[in-house]
A and B are shown apart, each in its own frame.
Chain A
Amino acid sequence: MTPVAEPLLRLSGIRVVFGSFTAVDGVDLSVAENELRFLIGPNGAGKTTLIDVVTGRVRPSGGRVLFGGRDITGLREHAIVRAGIGRTFQTATVFEQLTVADNVDLAACYRMGPLRLLRRRRGLSDTVAAVLERVGLLALADRPAGVLSHGQRQWLEIGMLLAQSPRLLLLDEPVAGMSAGERERTGELLVEIAADHTVVVVEHDMDFLRRYARDVTVLHEGRVLTEGTVAQVQADERVQEVYLGRNVDVAAPLAVGAEGE
């Protein structure tokens, strides 16, 4: 990896303790501007918890989060979004009672003050229309988000993220539970997004990883096991052991058993 002057995101010594259980145990992680970074690891490795730390959902019991050189550790969730970090959730959460357009529109308008928010939305703003187009939901703009399929919800959530044009996107298992066709589309979307954004993707799916990943960080039991390119990581014996189980051929497509939540 080429060393970069100042990474966009730098985690140092992050520790998260739930009661007596240490979910994240001293993680250092740097993500450079415009990087597409995959974060993998077996169930319970602490991937989601790490994203929770960066986005303010979980307060670390130790360590610091620097974003663009600024210490954002312990900021409140909305303040972190305003600083430029957006995320999706492992189980996509959208506002089912609102229309698809309203979901994206609200995401897009997060910098508006209360007075401007008290005005009505007339039609679709250019941003919202462009985002809906990009995630393929334009035709469903006026439908309640509650009617969307699982895959469409994931796209809507990604769309909501794009509407905010964050500097850093954190996607938590964007293809979990998707059909093969939906994975394909999501992959293409990911490549598009990664072209002009910094993205961190948590993903279990080995196939997906091989197709779209460049750099990979492997987490295991709350620690960084190794970092490198897909090939390097796949060749790493420790990864094969902890992540894939003993004697599993890494090159073989991994049957998705890891996704059951």
Chain B
Amino acid sequence: MTSTSASSLSPAAAPARSRAGRLAGPAVFVGVLAVALGVLPAVLEPFRLNLVAQYLCFAIVGLGIAVAWGRGGMLVLGQGVFFGLGGYAMGMYLTLERVSSDPLSGGVPDFMSWSGISELPLLWRPFAHPAVAIATAVLLPGLVAALLGWAVFRQRVRGAYFAILNQALAAAFVILLINQQHLTGGTNGLTRFPTLFGASLYSADTKRWVYVAVVLVAALVYLAFRQVVRSRYGALLVAVRDGEDRVRFLGYDPTWVKTLAYTLSAMAAGVGGALFVVVMGIIAPSSLGIVPSLMMVLAVAIGGRFSLAGAALGAVLMNAAETAFSESFAGGWTYLQGALFVLVIVFAPRGLAGIAESAAGWWRSRRQPQGSSQ
């Protein structure tokens, strides 16, 4: 019965709001952006600022999950794959930037020399160009998702089967990365990136610029997806989520509707991964597998999958909480996360965003009687 209780308050179903209500969203957005760009860089030490940038990378992934899962009903439990594709594409560029400035490298990354490779493999070569790397980080995840989505959605694979398929994909991806050590750096992944476009990644200044870039990209992805969910397509996506078979009788093929949302979510994950490498200086299989993929979805569930802002906030909060906890008592976090998830599923299926909306609705209805003269 969660669907009926969600229906009355879901953003898609909200009746026409007042002008103030309509402007509240954009005002909050501008406010958050102003704080993120104007205040945080001034008050946070570089290390902390870098952490915020890291959280925002997951927020970008979360925005994609909110579109595919929240709106489209596709439980995307393998976003680590797309995150990884983006991360490795960018990581390959960063690795080659280091290699090219290091006369002792012999033109190949050290893990390749250890495997006896002395010439850069064909697969790696295009990634010497930053434009190729960035384009790949965004487009390759999209392409993979589009092909996969088209194939499975056409066959009407959905629900748990689709979720399990994504998990299997994440597992297989990790195995592939580890097995192809001579190409991927194996379990260690790609790491040690001293420079980005020639600027030292260890300097506080560069870190600040990276942070600003991450904030701007996150804001752009948010705005783009906001347009998507508010468009006719966004309504169609909700329709497919709630009645895929009914949508067919409106003359739409749900295959492309779902494939597009899945593709967009994969591209967001790719962007998140690409930025993550720059921010964290490492991409490795351990952050892409089944568990990390689950965590990405978990954070969105807690923040609220029906709301873009909720999803992004959930990702930021959960990752911040993880940092805070692992700084004090390490092992406890996983359990707490599990407990939080259960609490949310049982008591707040629409997550923090749902709680906030209910509270706002309650507040408005309380004020309504007095404000009726207006």
Which residues in A have some Cβ–Cβ distance to B below 8 Å? 55-57, 76-78, 81-82, 86-87, 89, 93, 95-99, 102, 105-107, 109-112, 114, 116-121, 142-144, 146-147, 160, 164
In the bound complex, residues from chain B placing their C-beta under 8 Å from that of A98 are 12-13, 235, 238-239
CA distance A98 to B71 in the complex (A): 12
Q: How large is the interface on B (under 10, 10 to 19, 20 to 34, 35 or more residues)?
A: 20 to 34
B16 contact set on A, CB distance < 8 A: 142
Are A105 and B249 touching (Cβ within 8 A)?
no
Known: A98-B238, A105-B232, A118-B228. A78 touches B8 (CB 8 A): no
Residues 234-278 of B, flagged 1 when their CB comes within 8 A of A and 0 if not, give 011011001101101111110010001000000000000000000
Point out the residues of chain A lying under 8 angstroms from B181, CB to CB.
Answer: none
Q: Give 5 A-B contacts (CB < 8 Å), ordered by A residue.
A: A97-B10, A106-B252, A111-B251, A121-B235, A144-B13
Separation of A91 and B183 alpha carbons in the complex (Å):
57
- Indicate if the CB atoms of B242 and A164 lie closer than 8 Å: no
Q: Which residues of A contact B238 (CB under 8 A)?
A: 95, 97-98
A81 engages B232 (CB within 8 Å): no
Binding site for A on B (CB under 8 A): 4, 6-8, 10, 12-13, 15-16, 227-228, 230-233, 235-236, 238-239, 242-243, 245-246, 248-253, 256, 260
- Is B251 a contact partner of A105 (Cβ separation < 8 A)? no
What's the Cα separation between A99 and B6 when bound, in Å?
Answer: 14
- C-alpha gap A86/B248 in the complex (Å): 11
Contact call A120/B230, Cβ cutoff below 8 A: yes
Q: Which residues of B contact A57 (CB under 8 A)?
A: 249
Given contacts A97-B7, A97-B10, contact A112 B232 (CB under 8 A): yes
A111–B253 CA distance with the chains assembled, in angstroms? 11
Complex-state Cα separation, A120 to B232, whole angstroms: 6
Quick one: given A97-B242, A105-B235, A106-B239, are A144 and B227 in contact (CB under 8 Å)? no
Q: Are A77 and B232 in contact (CB under 8 A)?
A: no
Most B C-beta atoms less than 10 A away, residue of A98, A105, A107, A143: A98
Considering only CB atoms, which chain B residue lies closest to A102 in the complex? B235
User: Which residues on the A side are within 8 Å of B7 (C-beta)?
Assistant: 96-97, 144, 146
Question: Contacts A95-B243, A117-B236, A144-B15: A82 and B251 contacting too (C-beta < 8 A)?
Answer: yes
Specify which of B13, B15, B246, B253 lies most central, judged by the most chain A CB atoms within 10 Å of its CB: B13
A107–B12 CA distance with the chains assembled, in angstroms: 17
- Chain B residue nearest to A164 in the complex (CB): B251
Closest A residue to B246 by beta carbon equals A93
Residue from the list B228, B230, B235, B248 in contact with A106, Cβ < 8 A? B235
For the complex, give the distance between the alpha carbons of A78 and B248 in Å.
5
Contact B232 A109 (CB under 8 A): yes
